[in-house]
Amino acid sequence: MSNEIRRYSICGSRRLSNLLWTIILFFGSIGFLFTGFASYFYGTSNIQFFPQGLVMVFYGFLGFFLSIYLGFTLFWGLGSGFNEFNKKNSYVRIFRWGFPGKNRRMNLYYPWEDILGIRVQYQQGQYILFLQIRGKKEIPLTNIGEPLSFEQIEKQASALAKFLQVSITF
């Protein structure tokens, strides 16, 4: 990172907590499926197939497909990317990965002159840093799901505002 270019990476969905939840959900749903099908095929005395076993099979399939979906979001790295602030070439670049398809890459460029400021907002239990751009909606710059303390977000916001030479609003 030079004095004229700053790049901040965004991890997106690739987090240890998401991986752990995917694994827990996968094995839990397999357990539900096994128990539900065992009640049908082997007629265990503890669980009758109708209604308990049928409900367990339903929730097992639901959890299984949800864990597969979460696994794909981890594999594709949804939401990951970077924020690049380039004084040398006078632009701001916001890059994120999305779902596969023709619009998988979200690659936004804004001219340096269109940057109005930095805004810090307390939303849903965490502080979020927004980039204010002339004529556009505000763009979140921080990792969602990784709460930062007020001191950390204030330090990050002031360093970025000083680099961009814009004001900060709270």
The pLDDT profile of the chain, 170 residues, written as one tens digit per residue, is 458 999 999 999 999 999 999 999 999 999 999 999 999 998 766 888 889 999 999 999 999 999 999 999 999 999 999 999 999 999 999 999 999 999 999 999 999 999 999 999 988 888 999 999 999 889 999 887 777 888 999 999 999 999 999 999 98
The pLDDT assigned to 144 comes to 75
The pLDDT assigned to 2 comes to 59
Q: Does residue 40 fall inside a structural domain?
A: yes
Q: Does residue 154 fall inside a structural domain?
A: yes
Backbone angles phi, psi at 149, to 5 degrees: -70, 165
Q: How many domains does the chain have?
A: 2
Q: Does residue 85 fall inside a structural domain?
A: no
**Domain range for residue 119?**
98-169
Q: Does residue 64 fall inside a structural domain?
A: yes
- Statement to judge: residues 161 and 107 lie in one domain: yes
Q: Does residue 91 fall inside a structural domain?
A: no
Helix, strand, or coil (residue 91)? strand
Helix, strand, or coil (residue 165)? coil
- Statement to judge: residues 127 and 64 lie in one domain: no
Pairing label, strands 115-123, 167-169: parallel
The pLDDT assigned to 28 comes to 98
- Statement to judge: residues 50 and 111 lie in one domain: no
Q: Which helix (H) or strand (E) covers residue 139, if one does?
A: strand 139-140
Backbone angles phi, psi at 111, to 5 degrees: -65, 150
Q: Does residue 9 fall inside a structural domain?
A: no
Backbone angles phi, psi at 77, to 5 degrees: 65, 45
Q: Does residue 31 fall inside a structural domain?
A: yes
List CB contacts of 9: < 8 A, sequence separation 6 or more.
Answer: 80, 81, 82
Q: Does residue 2 fall inside a structural domain?
A: no
Q: Which of 97, 164, 98, 86 is nearest to 132 (CA)?
A: 164
pTM of the model: 0.83
